[in-house]
Amino acid sequence: MSVKYLLPVLTMLVAITIAGCQQPEAHPSVIEPAPSTLTTQTIAISTLADRLGLKIVETTPAYMTLKNSANTVMIFTGTQGRFFVNGQEKGSVGTVEKVNGQIYVSESISPMISAELRTVAPQPLQPQYQPKKTCSGTVIIDSGHGGKDPGTIGRNGAYEKSINLAVARNVAALLKQRGVNVILTRSDDTFVELDGRAEVANRSHAQLFVSIHTNSCGNKSDHGFTVYTSRSASGASESLAQSIIRAMPITGLASNGLQHADYRVLVDTRCPAALVEVGYLSNSRESALLVSDGFQNRIAEAIAQGIYYAL
- The pLDDT confidence band at residue 274, using thresholds 50, 70 and 90, is very high
Say whether pLDDT at 133 is over 90: no
Q: Dump the DSSP string for 150-170.
A: ---B-TTS-BHHHHHHHHHHH
Please report the pLDDT score of residue 252 as a whole number: 87
CB 247 within 8 A of CB 305: yes
The proportion of the chain whose per-residue pLDDT surpasses 90, expressed as a percent, equals: 56
pLDDT digits (tens, 9 = 90+) for 11-29: 455 444 444 444 333 333 3
Start-end ranges of CATH 3.40.630.40 in the chain? Answer: 138-310
Rounded average pLDDT over 102-120: 87
Please report the pLDDT score of residue 135 as a whole number: 59
Please report the pLDDT score of residue 134 as a whole number: 54
Q: Give the closest residue to 257 by CA, choosing from 227, 237, 284, 285.
A: 227
The top-level CATH class assigned to 138-310 is alpha beta
Of these ranges, 24-38, 68-82, 104-118, 142-156, the one predicted with the greatest mean pLDDT is 142-156
| Half-sphere exposure for 167 (CA within 13 Å, toward CB) | 32
pLDDT digits (tens, 9 = 90+) for 172-217: 999 999 999 999 999 999 999 999 999 999 999 999 999 999 999 9
Start-end ranges of CATH 3.30.457 in the chain? Answer: 42-107
Q: Dump the DSSP string for 130-155.
A: ---S---SEEEEEE--BTTB---B-T
Please report the pLDDT score of residue 23 as a whole number: 39
Give the span between the Cα atoms of 262 and 92, in whole angstroms: 41
The top-level CATH class assigned to 42-107 is alpha beta
